[in-house]
Copies of this chain bind each other. A is one copy, B any other.
């Protein structure tokens, strides 16, 4: 079975407050970085997995997100398989 390298990115939904992002905005400001309008913090998961095909890999990665990696109440996710 081939092995795939995938990256899952999980981001907060629009409208969900992001305390970390807010704090980083502030901190960047006080560090003298101007022009920063917004920072939103998210997560990435670099997953190495065996699957029969790339589609199969994608499919199970989506399932992983729905079941565990993302809290769909507050987060969206995107899956990318490098092959």
Q: Shortest Cβ distance from A6 into chain B, in angstroms? A: 10
Give the bracket for the number of chain A residues in contact with chain B: 20 to 34
- Does residue A28 face the partner (Cβ distance < 8 Å to B)? yes
Given A41-B43, A44-B43, A44-B44, residue A49 in contact with residue B36 (CB < 8 A): yes
A28-59 vs B, CB cutoff 8 Å, 1 = contact: the mask equals: 10010111111111111111111100000000
18 more contacts with CB within 8 A, not counting A33-B60, A38-B47, A41-B45, are: A3-B37, A24-B45, A24-B68, A24-B69, A31-B68, A33-B49, A35-B49, A36-B47, A37-B49, A38-B46, A39-B45, A39-B48, A40-B45, A41-B46, A42-B43, A42-B45, A42-B46, A43-B44
